[in-house]
């Protein structure tokens, strides 16, 4: 009787172990679980032509369409969270979103905190002022106040030339707020990413560029360092695929003129 009970116990143990290995093992089971996940992706609210709202209130732009095309190519689900740049980065660092695509420059400092995709757009920064202002160079703007956007490469550039040109910097959360401050005369000019300012000028924002574009860092998709590696891998693979099939260039051509 004891032998019988012991044998039953051994068989039961084997069955439990087998069930556990089947349930907890890798392979197709993990893939099915990942397939059910919806990733939360933070983005800016107004950074045309990369992300902005159209006349119907829908978010559109280079970043928005790239993300959609890559998700379709790789078969993952996501929910877009338009939060503003600072808030999107803060949400990523606190684990409230899984990734950020927001015209985010890949810099050495940021690479200490985030893992980036390969660059999907090469950018730069430029100073802009009212279209009828007399400023033609940085020298003309000595001692003036410039508007900059929190946490951006434009802000870093302005800080780097602040002492040389005796500049005062005024910080804003959104690009349109900077532009309005320039137009109202509250500041002499603002610092913005070149393609964004070019798009705005083309669409009649009332500003003009001062001096040449300063070569900046490229834009990348970011996840928190050491986390969401599977999402980053899918983004990278999808980006490569849509570049190969022409979708990537179609999206750029739609929003950014070579001019």
Q: Three-state SS string across 87-100, please?
A: HHHHHHHCCCCCEE
- CA 5, distance to chain mean position in Å, is 62
Q: What is the pLDDT of residues 168-196, one digit of tens each?
A: 999 999 899 999 999 999 999 999 999 99
Output the pTM of the full model: 0.73
Q: Please tell me the predicted confidence (pLDDT) of residue 203.
A: 87
Q: Residue 225 corresponds to which tokens in the numbers above?
A: 């360092």
Q: Residue 12 corresponds to which tokens in the numbers above?
A: 């039961």
Percent of the chain with pLDDT over 90: 73
Q: Please tell me the predicted confidence (pLDDT) of residue 171.
A: 97
Residues 6+ apart with CB under 8 A from 190: 127, 128, 129, 146, 147, 148, 154, 178, 179, 181, 182, 207
Confidence of residue 258 (pLDDT cuts 50, 70, 90): low
Q: Please tell me the predicted confidence (pLDDT) of residue 35.
A: 63
pLDDT of 24 strictly over 50: no
């Amino acid at each position: 009787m004891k032998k019988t009970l012991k044998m039953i116990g051994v068989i039961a143990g084997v069955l439990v172990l087998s069930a556990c290995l089947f349930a907890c093992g890798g392979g197709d089971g993990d893939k099915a679980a990942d397939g059910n996940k919806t990733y939360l992706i933070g983005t800016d609210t107004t950074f045309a032509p990369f992300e902005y709202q159209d006349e119907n209130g829908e978010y559109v732009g280079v970043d928005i369409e790239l993300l959609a095309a890559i998700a379709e190519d790789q078969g993952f689900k996501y929910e877009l969270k338009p939060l503003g740049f600072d808030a999107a980065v803060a949400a990523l660092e606190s684990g409230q979103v899984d990734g950020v695509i927001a015209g985010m420059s890949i810099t050495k400092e940021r690479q200490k905190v985030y893992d980036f995709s390969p660059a999907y757009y090469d950018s730069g920064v430029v100073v802009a002022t009212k279209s009828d202002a007399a400023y033609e160079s940085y020298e003309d703007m000595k001692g003036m106040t410039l508007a900059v956007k929190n946490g951006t490469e434009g802000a870093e550039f302005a800080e780097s030339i602040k002492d040389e040109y005796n500049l005062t910097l005024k910080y804003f959360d959104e690009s349109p707020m900077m532009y309005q401050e320039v137009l109202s005369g509250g500041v002499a000019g603002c610092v913005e990413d070149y393609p964004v300012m070019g798009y705005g000028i083309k669409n009649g924002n009332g500003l003009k560029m001062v001096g040449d574009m300063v070569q900046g860092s490229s834009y990348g998709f970011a996840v928190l360092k050491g986390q969401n590696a599977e999402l980053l891998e899918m983004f990278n693979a999808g980006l490569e695929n849509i570049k190969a099939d022409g979708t990537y260039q179609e999206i750029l051509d739609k929003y950014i003129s070579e001019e």
